[in-house]
Amino acid sequence: MIVRPRPRMRELFFIWKGSIIPLILPQVLFVTAVATLVTLLADLIGPRFPDFATGPFTFLGLSLSLFLGFRNNACYDRWWEARKHYGNLLVVLRCLARDSQLLETDAEGKQQRKDVLRLCTAFTKALTARLRDRPIVEAAKAELSPAEITAIKAGHNIPDSILRLVTALLLQARQAGRLDSVTYCAMAEHINQLTAIQGACERIRYTALPFAYTLLLHRTAHIFCVLLPLGLVHSLGHATPLLTALVAYTFFGLDALGDELEEPFGTAQNDLPLDAITRVIEIDMAEYRGLENRPEPLKPQDFVLM
C-alpha cells in the first residue's frame, strides 16, 4: 500500500513511485507509436488518407469509460471489504484478549491465557500467509510448540486448525471451572467471529470477478486506443499522438488499477498492508501476554507499506 504525503501541485506531475505509469508505460508507448505512424502516413498521403468519423469513437469511448468505472467500483468494493474484515480481526482479537483475563484464577489459568493469546497471534500470521500464498506453517511456527505444529499439519485448513486448538483450551478451562457457561459462550463467540472473518477473507481471495467481463474490457480498451488515431488525425493533425497518449493513460491506468484492487490481499503497491496489520496484532497480543521483547511496527519502505 502506498503511504506518502499528499503531493503539492508542483510535484503532482513528477511522482513516479505510487503511480500507475510504470505498469502501463509499454502499452501507452505502443499506442503513441501507432498514433505517430498514423500521423506520418496522413501527412504523406494527404487528402487521400481515409477520413474516419469521430462519432463512433465518441460513443465507444463513453461506453468504455462507464464500464471501466463500474469495474473499478466493484474492485474497490472488494478492496474496502477486505480492509474492513482485517480491521474487525484486530477488534475481535483485542476483545478476546481482554476477556481472557477471566482465565487467571490460578497459575494454570494464567498459563492457559498466555497460550490462548499465543495461538491467536499464530492464527493471524497463518491467515495472512494463507491469503498471500506463503508457507503457512513456516509463518506461524515461531508461536507454536512442536506438538501443536504436528497437530495443525494434520488439518487441511491450518488457520482453522489453530482455532480448534484455542477452542480446546477454552473447553479445558470450562471443565476446570475457570469459566462458567456464560463467560465460556462469550469467549467462544469471539472464536466464531474469527472463523467468520477468515471465511469472508477466503471468499474475497478465491472468488475473482468474472473473467469474461475483465477480458472484454481489456480487449476493448486496447482496440479503442489503437484505432483512436484514425478518428483524430484529420481534426488534430500533429497533436494526435499527444491526445492519444492521454486517453491511453486514462483507460489503461483505470484498467491496471482495477487489476490491483481486485486482489486486495496481494503484494502489489496498491494492495492492503496485511503484514503491517499483522504486526500490529502481534504487538498487541505480546502486550497482553506481558512480553518485554515486542516487535517494532512495520514502516513504509520507499513509500510502500506491506
Q: Looking at residue 1, what is its pLDDT? A: 75
Q: Looking at residue 11, what is its pLDDT? A: 64
All three cell numbers of 189, joined, read 463467540
Q: Are 209 and 67 in contact (CB under 8 A)?
A: no
In a domain, 108, yes or no: yes
Residue 177: strand, helix, or coil? coil
- pTM above threshold 0.85: yes
In a domain, 303, yes or no: no
Q: Does residue 196 sit in the same domain as residue 125?
A: yes
Q: Are 121 and 139 in contact (CB under 8 A)?
A: no
In a domain, 301, yes or no: no
In the block, which residue shows the cell 473447553?
A: 171
End-to-end CA distance of the chain: 6
In a domain, 13, yes or no: no
Kindly report, residue by residue over 54-108, the tens digit of the pLDDT. Answer: 777 777 878 888 888 888 899 999 999 999 999 999 999 999 999 999 888 888 8
In a domain, 183, yes or no: yes
Average pLDDT across the chain, whole number: 88
Q: Does residue 176 sit in the same domain as residue 279?
A: yes
Q: Does residue 204 sit in the same domain as residue 244?
A: no
pLDDT(230) > 90 = no
In a domain, 296, yes or no: no
Q: Looking at residue 152, what is its pLDDT? A: 92
Q: Residue 38 — very low, low, confident or very high, per pLDDT cuts 50/70/90?
A: confident
Q: Looking at residue 161, what is its pLDDT? A: 94
E runs forming strands in 117-209: none
Q: Does residue 202 sit in the same domain as residue 242?
A: no
Q: Looking at residue 60, what is its pLDDT? A: 80
Question: Which H or E run contains 287?
Answer: helix 274-289
Q: Does residue 34 sit in the same domain as residue 122?
A: no
pLDDT(16) > 80 = no
Fill in the DSSP letter of residue 106.
Answer: S
Domain count, the chain: 2
Q: Looking at residue 95, what is its pLDDT? A: 94
Q: Does residue 168 sit in the same domain as residue 217?
A: no
Q: Looking at residue 7, what is its pLDDT? A: 66
Query: What share of the chain in percent tops pLDDT 90?
Result: 46
Kindly report, residue by residue over 106-158, the tens digit of the pLDDT. Answer: 888 899 999 999 999 999 999 999 999 999 999 999 999 999 999 998 888 99
Q: Does residue 166 sit in the same domain as residue 133?
A: yes
In a domain, 164, yes or no: yes
Mean pLDDT of 170-181: 90
In the block, which residue shows the cell 462458567?
A: 180
Q: Does residue 222 sit in the same domain as residue 106?
A: no
Q: What φ, ψ does residue 270 adopt, rounded to 5°?
A: -100, 10
- What angle do the packed helices 55-99 and 211-236 form, to 10 degrees? 140
Among 3-17, 66-80, 202-216, 244-258, the minimum mean pLDDT is found in 3-17
Range of the domain at 154: 89-208+274-289
CA 202 from chain center: how many Å? 12
Q: Looking at residue 14, what is its pLDDT? A: 65
Highest mean pLDDT of the ranges 10-19, 56-65, 171-180, 227-236: 171-180
Q: Are 172 and 106 in contact (CB under 8 A)?
A: no
CA-CA-CA-CA torsion sign (32, 36, 37, 42):
positive
Q: Does residue 160 sit in the same domain as residue 190?
A: yes
Q: Looking at residue 5, what is its pLDDT? A: 67
Q: Does residue 97 sit in the same domain as residue 170?
A: yes
All three cell numbers of 270, joined, read 496498491
Q: Does residue 200 sit in the same domain as residue 234?
A: no
Q: Does residue 154 sit in the same domain as residue 236?
A: no
